[in-house]
Structure 1
Amino acid sequence: MSQEEVLIETKNLDKIYGTGEDSVLALKDINLEIRRGEFVCVLGPSGCGKSTLLKTIAGYIEATNGQCLMQGEEIEGPDWHRGVVFQSSTLYPWMSVKDNVEFGPRMRNLPEDEIKEIQEYFLEEVNLSGFGDKATFELSGGMKQRVALARVLANNPQVILMDEPFGALDALTRNDMQKLIHNIWKENNSTIFFITHDVDEALSLATRVVVMSKRPGRIIREFNVDFTDTLFDENTKFDDSSQRVEYEDEYFKVKNEILDIINNQV
């Protein structure tokens, strides 16, 4: 486990929706730490509470029992230090691309020249330089997600929360977005909490994979992994075939173990 600063911590966290006979226990006894610089991916069966956990960390909903902390302080609502990217891009359709990206810094009353600098920098980061004046409805799904990511990054959040952000994209665009978020994470030393249904996506991106049980969602296993740099480094070379076989064997061993855990929960 990394010795970096703990940014997010949940302690014995439960979430119950509704009351009485209609109540649903969504999360049960969640204990989790997210450290600075980590890329944490969360897997689990549909309906296990992954999105509920993310929304609790984001401050959109309150825990029923237990604590959800950021740097030791109780999370009491949404905060620009925790940026959120959903599966749907949730852009402001009446704004241009650059206005969407500038929205957060403008709400924080930053100087105009700094706002422009931030907007230009992050549109370049997501490979959308020159698209600032476009209307968001003119963009493809993948481009909209790039804008959504740039809008979150423009606030310089300490934690980026991503709820199946590439789930609606075609395979090629999804692969491009995975490379993009990996590179941004590395270059900016970001901290990312990422929900996905795709085990390969989790193993490709994560430094740690968290597996949840069926409802009520509990954390039943964590895997520290280090496949991401090898998978996204085009210069990676194996000196001989035995190295590649050993690497691939380890990858599929972890993948199959995770799949067995999830499938046994269904």
Structure 2
Amino acid sequence: MINERNQEVLIDIQNLKSIYGTKSNSILALDNINLQIKRGEFLCILGPSGCGKSTLLKTLAGYIRPSSGACLMQGKPITGPDRHRGVVFQSPTLYPWMSVKDNVEFGPKMRELPAKEIEEIRTHFLEQVKLTGFSEKATFELSGGMKQRVALARVLANYPQVILMDEPFGALDALTRVNMQTLIRDIWKENNSTIFLITHDIDEALSLGTRIVIMSKRPGRILKEFNIDFTHTIFNNNLKHVMYNEEYFNLKNEILDIINSQIEE
């Protein structure tokens, strides 16, 4: 396992507060969030609906500004979207008038990279997401899972330091979802990526994450963090799926109890 104490802090969230609306009609979405995202970790965020998970992700992405507190990327305030923080949403945000190839090449072209390098980047990441041979297809011809893989390849083509994922597999059927979880786990390890993933699925968080953060109901606060090892166990034992044992089920039940206590209050 990676020694967490030696990991570089990529994103540092300090006393973050996020308020929507005007004074007379304001909603406190996030309150006093303190969190560090370290290079190479797979951080999963769990919490009841409406707890501010997506607000937190949008703040990290640079889409919205904190009402107070700070959100720093390698020591510098996040002031807007940046290719170093790639975002994958639940619905694939592809350019429908472009082919698969053009979608993946969009970022590198915007950076005005040489044509040969753009081709190499596109070929590499389409291969990594298992879409070799689909480069000329229109995105509307693809299934939901394939569209999400294109969206992932398009993000990867910018070589982001952090990949932000907002329930990226939530709209997929059960089998496609499991396959996508395996794919993102393999890509995370192969690329030594840093991933911040929002999910409602406790099993998904346990099978992918190296750390789980549980948030309270609105206003969202951090209730508890768990450092977990199931995804490393998958690789260390050359497995395809997580090993379900007593430790796994005890942890799942503890997390479920914390989240349900927020819903029932």
What range describes the TM-score normalised by the shorter chain of this pair? over 0.9
In structure 2, what is the equivalent of residue 17 of structure 1? 20
Deviation at 1:20, TM superposition (A): 1.7
Q: Provide, for residues 144-200 of structure 1, a one-character-per-residue CA deviation record: whole Å limited to 9, x for no partner.
A: 000000000000000000000000000000000000000000000000000000000
Aligned AA (1:255): K
In structure 1, what is the equivalent of residue 41 of structure 2? 38
CA contact (8 A) 1:96 1:136 kept: yes
Matched, 1:85 2:88: yes
Distance in 2 between residues matched to 1:135 and 1:180, nearest whole Å? 22
Deviation at 1:209, TM superposition (A): 0.2
Aligned AA (1:145): Q
In structure 1, what is the equivalent of residue 222 of structure 2? 219
Aligned AA (1:263): N
Aligned AA (2:220): G
Deviation at 1:234, TM superposition (A): 7.1
SS in 1 for 2:225: strand
Deviation at 1:228, TM superposition (A): 1.1
Deviation at 1:230, TM superposition (A): 3.0
Aligned AA (2:253): N
Runs of 4+ in 1 over 2 A off after TM superposition: 229-237
Matching of residues 87-102 of structure 1 within 5 Å: 87-102=90-105
Query: Which runs of no fewer than 5 residues in structure 2 stay unpaired?
Result: none
Deviation at 1:3, TM superposition (A): 2.1
In structure 2, what is the equivalent of residue 119 of structure 1? 122
Aligned AA (1:216): P
In structure 2, what is the equivalent of residue 144 of structure 1? 147
What is the aligned residue count?
258
In structure 1, what is the equivalent of residue 208 of structure 2? 205
- Aligned counterpart for 1:59 among listed residues 62, 83, 91: 62
SS in 2 for 1:62: coil
Deviation at 1:2, TM superposition (A): 4.1
Q: Provide, for residues 200-254 of structure 1, a one-character-per-residue CA deviation record: whole Å limited to 9, x for no partner.
A: 00000000000000000001100000101334677349xxxxxx7xx61101111
Question: RMSD between aligned alpha carbons?
Answer: 1.4
CA contact (8 A) 1:179 1:232 kept: no
SS in 2 for 1:265: helix
In structure 2, what is the equivalent of residue 249 of structure 1? 246
Q: Report the TM-score, using the length of structure 2 for normalisation.
A: 0.95
Q: Provide, for residues 20-57 of structure 1, a one-character-per-residue CA deviation record: whole Å limited to 9, x for no partner.
A: 22100000000000000000000000000000000000
Aligned AA (2:246): D
Matched, 1:48 2:34: no
> What fraction of aligned residue pairs are identical, expressed as a percent?
73
In structure 2, what is the equivalent of residue 261 of structure 1? 258
In structure 1, what is the equivalent of residue 196 of structure 2? 193
CA contact (8 A) 1:42 1:194 kept: yes
CA contact (8 A) 1:51 1:195 kept: yes
Deviation at 1:19, TM superposition (A): 1.1
Matching of residues 107-186 of structure 1 within 5 Å: 107-186=110-189
Q: Report the TM-score, using the length of structure 1 for normalisation.
A: 0.95
Deviation at 1:258, TM superposition (A): 0.5
Aligned AA (1:256): N
Distance in 2 between residues matched to 1:30 and 1:109, nearest whole Å? 38
Aligned AA (1:81): H
Aligned AA (2:10): L
CA change 1:217–1:51 in 2 (3 A) is: same
Aligned AA (1:248): N
